[in-house]
Amino acid sequence: MKRIALIIIIINFALTGRAQLTPLKSQYFKNPYLVNPAMAGKEEKARVYLNYSSQWNKIEGSPVLMSLSASTRVSEKAAIGVNIISDKAGLLQRTQAMGSFAYQVPLSDEQSLRFGVSLAWSREQLDMGIATNTGAADVALAKYNNEAKSNIDGNFGAAYINKAFEAQVSYLNLNQKRSKEFSTVDYSIFYSAVSYEFMRESSFTIKPLIAYRGVKGYKNQWDAAAEWNYNKMVSVYTMYHSNQSFSAGAGYDYQNKLSLSVIYNSEPSQVRGFTGGIMDLMVGFNF
């Protein structure tokens, strides 16, 4: 039984590591705070976002990722944010809570630098309810949960904003002690992106974005994306990823208060036809 349990755990570790290669799509345009603490409170209004991502539905125990994030300005230059994440793949359940502080340095009326830091707590556990057919506790699995440690981690981010141009970089999961221990997740280590919004004063705008990101244990990834927006209300998203997958979706903003979006990501070329794609849903509200 212990051997079977170990095999199951390894499979779940692989699923979760792969899930790190497919981040929540709203981080690119709607909610960059998800991946960069410097972007907390970037807009004048307080914002709350709920994200749901269902991945690889053809595989039993496929990853499901949920996130609740909020950020707001507390002064003209300072902002705070909070992000709670639940990431489940098969037996493995990972929970993370993160708080952030961001500060803006104005360079002119249209230019600014932003800096942000985050402190995060996370814990990984196995779902004992689906561990066995009978639901009875398994000694090996129970031992894993009893010995599971909470992790304290941190992120640092910076951004330069000049009207329609944005450049940002963030360094994630700065606690390098994790790399010396047996870890269940190949985690993100950095994210960078540049974007420019064309024709921003007209009713139809185009915002291309190039992102370059790293995941520990895998080669670095890049993404080429664009947001096509009409009248600041209806958006269409297109993306190409270096793992040879595509993303496409649409979004709707109601009176600059309620935001809805859905994005579908095709399977990577290496597993095409075996795993199923990824569906991202996002609901946001501005106060």
Q: For the chain, which residues make up each domain, given as ranges?
A: 2-286
Predicted pLDDT of residue 51: 96
Element (H, E) at 19: helix 2-19
Q: How far apart are CA 3 and CA 121, in angstroms?
A: 31
Predicted pLDDT of residue 123: 86
Using one digit for the tens of pLDDT, what is the confidence trace for 159-218?
999 999 999 999 998 886 654 444 445 678 999 999 999 998 899 999 999 999 998 878
For domain 2-286, give the fold.
Porin (2.40.160)
Which residues partner with 213 through β-bridges? 191, 221
Task: Return all residues near 167 (Cβ < 8 A) that are at least 6 apart.
Answer: 159, 160, 193, 194
Using one digit for the tens of pLDDT, what is the confidence trace for 64-88?
899 999 999 999 999 999 999 998 8
Predicted pLDDT of residue 173: 85
E-strand ranges in the chain read 47-55, 64-73, 78-89, 92-106, 111-126, 151-162, 165-171, 188-196, 204-215, 221-230, 234-241, 245-254, 258-265, 278-286
Predicted pLDDT of residue 215: 85
Using 70 as the pLDDT threshold, list the residues of the chain that sit under it: 1-22, 57-61, 128-138, 140-144, 147-148, 176-186, 269-275
Predicted pLDDT of residue 267: 77
Residue pair 285/259 in contact (Cβ under 8 Å)? The answer is yes
Predicted pLDDT of residue 182: 42
